[in-house]
Amino acid sequence: MARHSGRGWYGRVTAAAVGVTAVAAAASVWTAQANQSRGEGDSPRAGVSAPLAQGTAPKAAPASVSADIAHDSDGGAHAVNITIDDGPDPVWTPQVLDLLRAGGVKATFCMIGPQAQAHPDLVRQVVAAGHRLCDHTVSHDTTMDKKSEAYQSQQILQAEEQITKASGGVRPLYYRAPGGAFTPYSRQLAASHGMRPLGWNVDSKDFERPGTAAILATVKRELHLGPTLLFHDAGGDRSQTVAALRTLLPWLKQQGYTFGFPVR
């Protein structure tokens, strides 16, 4: 799976925030809780836990799911999965939500933890509209697969907590590694917390802002590769993404496609 570049706007986690001792301790707590209760791969939907009291941390994680990287759709052979990465963003996420609502389309939003923490109203709008949440780490570090297990754990579990708190207690059901930088450890860790590792089949290349026509052409040309489509609602000017989705969603319906969620 190709890595995305040019996403340095998220920044790197500082050494103080990722102190190995603190991270390892946090990871062991999360693992103990879980025991109590590129993309390859692929099964039934899991429910979400009851909302948390405001300001409290998530408790025991849900039952684990497959650690294989999902690509398929639960909507069947002629369904597509719309996945939206890197938000939420106060400018672009509401516009994407408006398009999805107008088209009666459900999507999966792969959120950056601090973005979710900064915009809990948008996270709750996503959930209220029937979309699903996905953990896209704290810092969007596309070199995560070269980092220690303690670092990977901090990036995944802290973002899970931030997203869950922002949503009011609705947990992310998937984990998407930045740039596809999965490792066996990160996949197993995410799966043990009920988050199916999530890949993609079609990269719209919208992050590079090649023009609306180019985004549409890429998706139509590569749609035969599989059902999971990758777009972005943050990381800069996403007006081309919004324009492309405005055309693409009705076009997909005209071609006989339905919309589903990635398999769990």
Report the alpha-carbon distance of residue 83 to residue 91 in Å, rounded.
Answer: 18
The residue extents of the domains of the chain are 67-259
Q: Does residue 136 have a pLDDT over 50? A: yes
| Active site amino acids | 85, 232
Burial classification of residue 222, based on how many CB atoms lie within 10 Å of its CB (0-12 exposed, 13-18 middle, 19 or more buried): middle
Lowest mean per-residue pLDDT among 2-16, 72-86, 95-109, 114-128: 2-16
Instruction: For residue 110, give both structure tokens.
Output: 């792969």
- pLDDT category of residue 104 using cuts at 50, 70 and 90: very high
pLDDT at 60 (0 to 100) = 58
Q: Looking at the domain that runs over 67-259, which CATH code has it been given?
A: 3.20.20.370
Question: Over the stretch 19-68, which tens digit does the pLDDT of each residue have?
Answer: 333 334 344 333 333 332 333 333 322 333 333 333 344 455 578 899 99
Mean pLDDT of 230-240: 98
